[in-house]
Structure 1
Amino acid sequence: MPRDTQHKTRRYAVDNLTCGGCVARAEAALAAVPGVVSAQVNLATRRADVVTDDGFDATALDAAMRGAGYPVQPTGGRELRVAVANMTCGGCASRAETALNALPEVLEAQVNLALKRADIRLAEGADLARVEAAMKAAGYPVTPLDPPETANSDPDTPEDETAPLRRAFLWAAALTLPVFVMEMGGHLVPAFHHWQMQTFGTFRLHLVQFLLTTAVLFGPGRVFFRLGVPALMKGAPEMNSLVVLGAGAAWIWSTVVTFAPQVIPETGRFVYFEAAAVIVTLILLGRWLEGRARGQAGAAIRGLMALRPDTALRVENGQETEVPLSDLRRGDLVRLKPGGRVAVDGEVVEGETYIDEAMLTGEPLPVAKRAGDPVSAGTVNGTGTLLYRATAVGADTVLARIVAMVEDAQATRLPVQSLINRVTAIFVPVVLVIALLAAGAWLAFGPEPAKALVIGVSVLIIACPCAMGLATPVSILAGTGRAAELGVLFRKGDALQDLSRVTLVAFDKTGTLTEGRPSVTAIAPTSDCDEATLLTLAAGAEAASEHPLARAILSEARARDLTPARTDSFEAVTGGGVIAMIEGETLRLGSRAFLEAEGVAVPPTDPGPATEVHVARGALYLGHLALSDKLKPEAARAVAALKARGVTVALLSGDAEGPVDAVARELGIDEAHARLSPAAKREQVAAWRKQGLKVAFVGDGLNDAAVLAEADVGIALGTGTDVAIEAGDVVLVSGAPTGVATAMEVSRRTLRNIAQNLVWAFGYNVALIPVAAGLLALLGGPFLNPMLAAGAMAASSVLVVLNALRLRRMEAA
């Protein structure tokens, strides 16, 4: 097929395009990415049409465009998650991904070996059935996965595969044990060997071994032939192919020796039935242990899913009916009994109780709930009874969104994984060549030509690239899962890698380092006003605002039994204040900079630790209110933990110098910037990045969306059920600033774990392939027995997974 028939057009949204020069630079950066045939960028639509060929790597394009300053996001089509069958090694994953990306219906595809699934983006109008048929023909059938919020369980979760693997291993072990005892027992105990020869004779012994080994290979071991032979026939050998060639060669040689010994030279009439049987048994053992370990690594999602009750008590016309969770709809009334779990997100209509929200916020103390308060799915009721109205069901609940985020994080692929996939794709063919050359050379020139078979089989078995394929995804699976249990949710894979390199962490102040619940501590009217009038006007202007300062002013007015002034119109100015019409006059309320920009003369005040909210009617200045906001209990510990890691801590706030400097002094923050608008915060972060610093910004995830996007890593603090899921790269569910240090520790330890896995996986192959090829034997040392090769290969994968499981012991910083 001509190469140009494999070209595919992909469309991306491109950020930071402001002029024709940007377009030219973005096009040049796109064109330089391997696999990109051509690229065309449109300034008006902020879109890029990229024509790619078979060598295209979506991860490399994403990294290149981020580095060029023009981040891209795929657009169009629909996203789908599918289970991928028959993947057993890194080579399988690479071939499955290549097969998916080669389909014209698929715009993007990423395959995860540890989770045995793929995230794909289908073209508009694409027929999924064609994709399923093509992947079945390629040997890696795909099945769409139900979303976590509607499925009772994932049909392809790692723990589900352990039962059949365990059965297969036990059957193989039972059949292999007699073969192993007959052959190896005779080598270890000469008297036992003589007894066997005298009692049964050579042919009968070999016949029994033949029958038992054949049962192993074509019984529990048939999975290797079912997957490996088609791969060989397609010219795309993978791990199963190596097992088929290794165990199959040993079985064929031994079978010929048993039934037609005359065709084999007398010096080579040895049987290797025990090697073939033990190879299959040990690899099945390795897969079983690996599957169990992967199941433990994926325990985070299963733990989250288990928080949902299966049924709920729906109340209709005063009657309670137990219904499946899937039957609940928004607006339904639900009864929550003592000790039960909240079924869906809702708002309390009737009753009072205390609810344990630790699974969301990490706070150990139950939270009081009464009419009007929100409740979240998965949280645990205390001793009271509630009636609540469902406000979010299915995929819209906070719990379902958290589960989806954890799944997305676990499915992420770091840039190093793309390199590993390319290596493993060519690794197996290279191993086949090495095995043939080593066996051929030993047959032709070795001192013991009969050992050529042993060498060929050992090379094939020792070189299976399972550990390489698992090195990265299984660490991500364990690390992000444990992070979720600690209240840290990674939304984007890049953040997991970038956070470990952060050198400066900048915090927002209000609601991030402080409680976000300020109170009015002083009212300072001018001679043209009095305290009650100033507070009444301020409360009227702030009545429609959701800002924490607005809530504090309204609370103070209520405490003084003052009725807020009636407002005819309201406009919020982000980062500045509000403008309201009261009794036909324009009232402005906000920071000093905001009023001065509006043409109001604001008299000087003594800068102090309190936040000042200034008020003016028209051009007349009426005075100001002083508000104070307590620091969060964990704020000092969070800053100290970051500084102990050698990270610079800064403070960016829209507040005045007085309160900002006071917070900085109390927490030991060296660099603080006050009176910053959201745009100014973003400019400051951009300036730090130009200096070569890796910057993380920590904010509430809503007001600071722009600066969160500008930072290398944006960390959004959720507050209880109000998880700012869409705002940052990382979400701290509890809202505690100490979660920043925890997130950095998770990132650092996960990447270190990946490095350890890669060193072991590659080092194991590099070190043992020459040994298997007979290098030590040439120097007078021993041969590598195929059974030992199989054991070492299985052990390498298990060790990689067990090393990753150490991440599940991480604790919060």
Structure 2
Amino acid sequence: MKSLTADSTGVGRRVELSVSGMTCAACSARIERKLNKLDGVHATVNYAARRASVTAASSVDDALLVETVEKAGYQAAVLAPASEAEPDDDRARDLWRRMVVSIALFVPICDLSLLFMFLPQARFTGWQWLLLVLALPVVGWAAWPLHRAALINARHRASSMDTLVSLGITAATGWSLYAMFFQTGSAGDAVGWRLLLRPEGAIYLEVAAGVTAFVLAGRYVEARAHRNAGDALRELAALGAKAVTVLLDDGSQRQVPVDELGVGQRFLVRAGETIGTDGRVVDGQAAVDCSAMTGESVPVEVIANDEVVGGTVVLNGWLVVEATRVGQDTQLAAMVRMVEEAQSGKAAVQRLADRISAYFVPAVLVAAAGTLLGWLLAVGSPQEAFTAALAVLVIACPCALGLATPTALMVASGRAAQLGIFIKGYRSLESTQDIDTVVLDKTGTVTDGRMTVVEVSCVPDVDVRRVLRLAGAVEDVSEHAVAAAISSHARAELETLPQVERFAGMPGLGATGIVEGHDVLVGRAKLFHERGLVLPEDLDRTRRKWEQQGNTTVVVGCDGSAVAVIAVADRVKPSAAAAVAELHRIGLRTVMLTGDNDATARKVAEEVGIGEVIAEVLPDEKVEVVRRLQSEGRAVAVVGDGVNDAPALACADLGLAIGSGTHVAINAADIVLVREDLTAVPDSIRLARRTLRTIRGNLVWAFGYNVAALPLAALGLLNPLIAAAAMALSSVLVVSNSQRLRRFSGSTAHRDGDTALPEA
């Protein structure tokens, strides 16, 4: 996918390249190094995803990026906007065919090679040609992709895993031909340990065939794992409708591709159809299935003025929707981008692994040559020297290192998307490990955020309808949830509201304006006290009583006098108590941070189980509260949904934005939760921590495997055939361990999976 974003200099664009031909971490490191040498380019290459994510200055042409990759010996293509790279099914099918042939021939080659090696008397005239006929399809045709990649690397004066494998296969085959046709040899002792120190005249065709079979099997498993890991992303990208029924000005209907839909256009969605883009319902009523986007299983009833999201499905009824966001601005497109960016991330330790891999292959070639020379000098046996050197070549492939982080990230981000959780990359994952305090905004986070007016109290001689007319006109301009509740209630009672002039909003306090010649002030009691306006005793007593009952109160003033108090209530989300309990269960402290009055905040906190409350905080003060908590040594996560939460989300060690909130809040957050169920908060932290454990386990295994295996091979304690199997198995284990993240279950399901995965 290609889209415009800011680069490190503040200008630039994002380009996604599909890269083919990579076979190990050394390949991705080489491409990354070549791209980053270009002026104005910052690139990250994901070996597992076969992608290069490039942030390039506007002066850098796409063709230059592709050319740079191709000069490094690989193939590249720019992915078009809003496109999803096709799964590498052709590659998997080709690997499958070559693997089946190599395995089918490996068995007789192995049996006959060992038979003729240890029992020379079993040899017959032309036995060499029989082995050769069986081996050539394996070491030639089946192994050709490995040889081709090695030749391409050699032409570019580079090396990779394929260099090691190709050299190993070629050396084993060449030595075998020499032994079969030019050495007579003698029968050796067939005791098990003699497999390590082969007799004179030993042949290695079974090693050449075995290396080929094991490497191809490992790569086939990788290709299948890559296909499976990307399933969730492909399903997400496929949610969008392909066409929409647009309502024209003359009342007629016309079906157009969704790409041609513009902001402000109205379109019809019937039962069973997918909503084409994000929009606002202007007519109709329907139940909408949001499960694919948010993980919510219960359909949502929508009516006029409700917001709907592209990619969701109308189950019954019909809707006329006015498009508010189209193309790359929709929530679906943003979610796809977030998953893609998360999958292209790298851990700091993974970047170290990539750098090591770039120098690892040349180092192994030197080590193999040194092993060969050392054995020749030490024991003088070419046979034993060749065996040890061949084992070093085969065992040292750094493939598992390159798969450690990306496979886990691909699986985890895909599974998270299915649960309505979108993680913005590896740094977001790393932030979860130190979190000990979770700060939750109240309105729209712990509560539904859909407030309603429950009571209105006026001073004597002031009519309720008059109060609603004045307050509703001022609040109709504001976007705050409390303001929306008052204006909606006023419209329901009065049908129409007058215009407001000279409107001025005071975030966290209230608003003021001129309505029908009257100076109207609507807001918290604190705002009136700051302006020296005294509430009548009866009105103030009513206000305090309502607040003690858990209601939010708004005072209405007209021409310098307080004339009414309005009580507004917001329902606590059904999932809030369970979410807080789960946060406590995994060892996190919870704090409620709100601009609402203390009594209301404490009542809500008590209902959901939050012990610490910080109330009556202005938006700019929320950042100070977060910083104060951090200064006390706490690692703070903030959960919010509104514009006023964005600074706190950005300031926190980890920001989690409710996906139904504002774009400002979503952009400021590290993790976006599109699921209305608040248990998505502990789920996201549990999944992130589990992914970290998996990645670290993968890296420990990959590093530990190479560190332990190379000395064994150099000392001649590792049969080359066993080395080939172990090398392939290391990659399979890393991929398999990452795939276990697909079984992660949410808080409402069985939690056996909450225990740590085996890490090595």
Q: Same fold (TM over 0.5)?
A: yes
In the alignment, structure 1 residue 98 sits paired with structure 2 residue 61: no
SS at the partner of 2:389?
helix
SS at the partner of 1:731?
strand
Alpha-carbon distance in 1 for matches of 2:199, 2:606: 85
SS at the partner of 2:209?
helix
Mapped contact 2:117–2:203 kept (Cα < 8 A): no
Q: One-letter code of the match for 1:416?
A: V
Alpha-carbon distance in 2 for matches of 1:371, 1:665: 35
In the alignment, structure 1 residue 632 sits paired with structure 2 residue 573: yes
1:592 paired residue number: 525
For the structure 1 residues 525 and 343, does the alpha-carbon distance in structure 2 shift closer, same or farther, using more than 3 Å as the test?
closer
Alpha-carbon distance in 1 for matches of 2:102, 2:177: 19
Alpha-carbon distance in 1 for matches of 2:676, 2:314: 22
Residue of 326, 330, 341 corresponding to 1:408: 341
Mapped contact 1:442–1:451 kept (Cα < 8 A): yes
SS at the partner of 1:501?
coil
CA RMSD of aligned residues (A): 2.8
Which structure 2 residues correspond to residues 553-702 of structure 1 after superposition, within 5 A?
553-561=486-494, 564-602=497-535, 605=541, 606=544, 607-608=547-548, 609-702=550-643
For the structure 1 residues 255 and 322, does the alpha-carbon distance in structure 2 shift closer, same or farther, using more than 3 Å as the test?
farther
Q: Quote how far apart the aligned CAs of 1:450 are.
A: 1.0
Moved more, 255-264 or 662-671: 255-264
Alpha-carbon distance in 1 for matches of 2:353, 2:688: 20
Q: One-letter code of the match for 1:103?
A: L
1:466 paired residue number: 399
Q: Quote how far apart the aligned CAs of 1:76 are.
A: 2.0
In the alignment, structure 1 residue 143 sits paired with structure 2 residue 74: no
Q: One-letter code of the match for 1:610?
A: N
Mapped contact 1:593–1:675 kept (Cα < 8 A): no
> What runs of 5+ residues in structure 2 fail to find an aligned partner?
187-197, 748-760
Mapped contact 2:429–2:688 kept (Cα < 8 A): yes
Residue of 124, 137, 149 corresponding to 2:58: 124
Q: Quote how far apart the aligned CAs of 1:296 are.
A: 1.3
Q: One-letter code of the match for 1:598?
A: R
Moved more, 536-545 or 791-800: 536-545
Mapped contact 1:443–1:450 kept (Cα < 8 A): no
Residue of 91, 104, 122 corresponding to 1:161: 91
Moved more, 564-573 or 459-468: 564-573
For the structure 1 residues 551 and 302, does the alpha-carbon distance in structure 2 shift closer, same or farther, using more than 3 Å as the test?
same
Alpha-carbon distance in 2 for matches of 1:591, 1:463: 69
Alpha-carbon distance in 1 for matches of 2:468, 2:252: 48
1:206 paired residue number: 128
1:24 paired residue number: none
For the structure 1 residues 701 and 268, does the alpha-carbon distance in structure 2 shift closer, same or farther, using more than 3 Å as the test?
farther
Deviations along 1:736-775, whole A, 9 cap, x unmatched?
3211101100111000111111111111111211221235
Q: Quote how far apart the aligned CAs of 1:358 are.
A: 1.7
SS at the partner of 1:569?
strand
2:649 paired residue number: 708
In the alignment, structure 1 residue 183 sits paired with structure 2 residue 113: yes
Mapped contact 2:117–2:202 kept (Cα < 8 A): no
Alpha-carbon distance in 2 for matches of 1:91, 1:691: 44
For the structure 1 residues 267 and 555, does the alpha-carbon distance in structure 2 shift closer, same or farther, using more than 3 Å as the test?
closer
Q: Quote how far apart the aligned CAs of 1:787 are.
A: 1.8
Q: Quote how far apart the aligned CAs of 1:108 are.
A: 0.8
Alpha-carbon distance in 2 for matches of 1:208, 1:275: 17
Mapped contact 2:20–2:75 kept (Cα < 8 A): yes
Mapped contact 2:594–2:601 kept (Cα < 8 A): yes
Which portions of structure 1, spanning 4 or more consecutive aligned residues, are displaced by more than 6 angstroms? Answer: 315-321, 720-723
Alpha-carbon distance in 2 for matches of 1:254, 1:492: 49
Q: Quote how far apart the aligned CAs of 1:429 are.
A: 2.2
Q: Quote how far apart the aligned CAs of 1:85 are.
A: 2.2
SS at the partner of 2:93?
helix
Alpha-carbon distance in 1 for matches of 2:134, 2:729: 25
Residue of 73, 77, 80 corresponding to 2:15: 80
Mapped contact 2:419–2:675 kept (Cα < 8 A): no
Mapped contact 1:678–1:704 kept (Cα < 8 A): yes
For the structure 1 residues 360 and 737, does the alpha-carbon distance in structure 2 shift closer, same or farther, using more than 3 Å as the test?
same
1:49 paired residue number: none
When normalised by structure 1's length, the TM-score is 0.83
Mapped contact 1:602–1:621 kept (Cα < 8 A): yes
* Percent identity of paired positions between Structure 1 and Structure 2: 37
Residue of 521, 539, 544 corresponding to 2:472: 539
In the alignment, structure 1 residue 241 sits paired with structure 2 residue 163: yes
For the structure 1 residues 641 and 74, does the alpha-carbon distance in structure 2 shift closer, same or farther, using more than 3 Å as the test?
farther
When normalised by structure 2's length, the TM-score is 0.89
Alpha-carbon distance in 1 for matches of 2:67, 2:417: 36
Moved more, 81-90 or 425-434: 425-434
Q: One-letter code of the match for 2:469?
A: T
Deviations along 1:325-350, whole A, 9 cap, x unmatched?
44555566545443233333345565
2:194 paired residue number: none
Residue of 478, 481, 485 corresponding to 1:552: 485
Moved more, 309-318 or 367-376: 309-318
In the alignment, structure 1 residue 754 sits paired with structure 2 residue 695: yes
Q: One-letter code of the match for 2:336?
A: V
Alpha-carbon distance in 2 for matches of 1:349, 1:554: 18
For the structure 1 residues 233 and 446, does the alpha-carbon distance in structure 2 shift closer, same or farther, using more than 3 Å as the test?
farther
Mapped contact 1:398–1:721 kept (Cα < 8 A): no
Deviations along 1:62-91, whole A, 9 cap, x unmatched?
xxxxxxxxxx95422222111222211112
Aligned length: 723
For the structure 1 residues 713 and 586, does the alpha-carbon distance in structure 2 shift closer, same or farther, using more than 3 Å as the test?
same
1:306 paired residue number: 238
Q: Quote how far apart the aligned CAs of 1:652 are.
A: 0.8
Deviations along 1:346-379, whole A, 9 cap, x unmatched?
4556554322122233332223345554443322
Alpha-carbon distance in 2 for matches of 1:208, 1:319: 77
Moved more, 129-138 or 474-483: 129-138
For the structure 1 residues 674 and 801, does the alpha-carbon distance in structure 2 shift closer, same or farther, using more than 3 Å as the test?
same
Alpha-carbon distance in 1 for matches of 2:624, 2:366: 56
Residue of 209, 213, 216 corresponding to 1:284: 216
Mapped contact 1:428–1:464 kept (Cα < 8 A): yes
